[in-house]
């Protein structure tokens, strides 16, 4: 039986059997990806004229965020997008067979399947300006970190919500993120819980509450000052 279901914008989400929750917001998976991670994470960097952007994602999952960045990269040929993503429990081809992201986004199906087929642990040039490095390790535990410290411009923090994976929303987890980012770097997430925002601040970020995607009042951005 398929574990795919529709969210409010017509895009699919996938049920995680392991965690008993969906991978995306019921209010719209594609909508949330574009609003939280592109609009409030990537766009300000592009608009500032940056020409190489190092992105770190926590939770590759269905590959939706990577696909939205790959699509965006087509419109910014002068910018190099390097996308590094952690995933400890990869989905199978069967899990996402029939997922409607390529169709709804108006891109070839191959664009998504290539991301899933890409070799793990190494950087793969998917297009002339979009590279993907998938890391199959525990984001919270792997030491030494499999990337240079203070090397990322933006973190897409797309872990399961605090009630499913509370360990991802602690001050300790935020310190791992802080150490990954360059000065001026940006952390974005859909989560807007009060305790989480306090932990983000106490870890050393300047915290902003921003309007959330349709259906959600707020999202959170943290800046390294
Ligand atoms: C909310 S989903 C990510 C959704 C994804 N960004 C997408 O576009 O489909 C969270 C992901 O984190 C992964 N995950 C859970 N614990 C992890 C860990 N300790 N290290 C790395 N990945 C983990 C899960 O398997 C899941 O794919």
Mean pLDDT of all residues in 109-113: 97
pLDDT band at 1 (very low <50, low <70, confident <90, very high): low
Mean pLDDT of all residues in 191-207: 98
How large is the angle between the packed helices 171-180 and 194-203, nearest 10 degrees? 50
pLDDT band at 134 (very low <50, low <70, confident <90, very high): very high
Whole-number Cα distances in Å, 99 to 1, 9, 41, 47, 109:
14, 14, 25, 31, 9
Answering whether pTM is above 0.95, one says yes
Q: Report the share of the chain in percent with pLDDT over 70.
A: 100
Mean pLDDT of all residues in 94-98: 93
Mean pLDDT of all residues in 16-30: 95
Asked if the model's pLDDT at residue 116 lies above 80, the reply is: yes
Cβ proximity of 7 and 24 under 8 Å: yes
Q: 78 CA to middle of ligand 1, Å? A: 30
What pLDDT score does 130 carry?
Answer: 98
Does domain 28-224 match CATH 3.40.50.150? yes
Q: How many CB atoms lie within 10 A of CB 128?
A: 9
Mutate to test the pocket of ligand 1, among 12, 36, 59, 101 (most ligand atoms within 8 A of CB): 59
Mean pLDDT of all residues in 128-134: 98
Mean pLDDT of all residues in 133-145: 97
Terminal Cα-to-Cα distance of the chain (whole angstroms): 48
Q: Report the share of the chain in percent with pLDDT over 90.
A: 98
The domain ranges of the chain are 28-224
Mutate to test the pocket of ligand 1, among 87, 134, 168 (most ligand atoms within 8 A of CB): 87
Asked if the model's pLDDT at residue 188 lies above 90, the reply is: yes
Asked if the model's pLDDT at residue 2 lies above 90, the reply is: no
Mean pLDDT of all residues in 158-162: 97
pLDDT digits (tens, 9 = 90+) for 36-60: 999 999 999 999 999 999 999 999 9
Greater pLDDT, 1 or 80 = 80
């Amino acid at each position: 039986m398929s574990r795919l279901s529709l969210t409010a914008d017509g895009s699919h989400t996938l049920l995680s059997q392991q965690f008993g929750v969906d991978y995306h917001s019921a209010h719209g998976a594609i909508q949330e990806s574009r609003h939280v991670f592109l609009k409030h994470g990537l766009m300000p960097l592009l608009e500032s004229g940056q020409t190489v952007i190092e992105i770190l994602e926590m939770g590759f999952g269905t590959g939706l965020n990577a696909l939205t960045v790959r699509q965006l990269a087509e419109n910014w040929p002068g910018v190099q997008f390097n996308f590094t993503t952690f995933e400890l429990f990869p989905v199978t081809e069967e899990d996402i067979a029939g997922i409607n992201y390529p169709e709804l986004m108006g891109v070839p199906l191959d664009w998504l399947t290539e991301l899933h087929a890409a070799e793990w642990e190494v950087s793969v040039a998917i297009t002339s300006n979009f590279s993907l490095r998938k890391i199959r390790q525990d984001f919270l535990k792997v030491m030494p970190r499999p990337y240079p410290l203070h090397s990322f411009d933006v973190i897409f923090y797309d872990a399961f919500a605090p009630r499913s994976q509370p360990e991802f929303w602690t001050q300790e987890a935020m310190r791992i993120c802080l150490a990954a980012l360059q000065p001026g770097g940006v952390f974005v997430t859909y989560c807007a819980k009060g305790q989480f925002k306090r932990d983000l601040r106490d870890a050393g970020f300047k915290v902003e509450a921003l309007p959330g995607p349709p259906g959600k009042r707020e999202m959170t951005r943290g800046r390294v000052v």
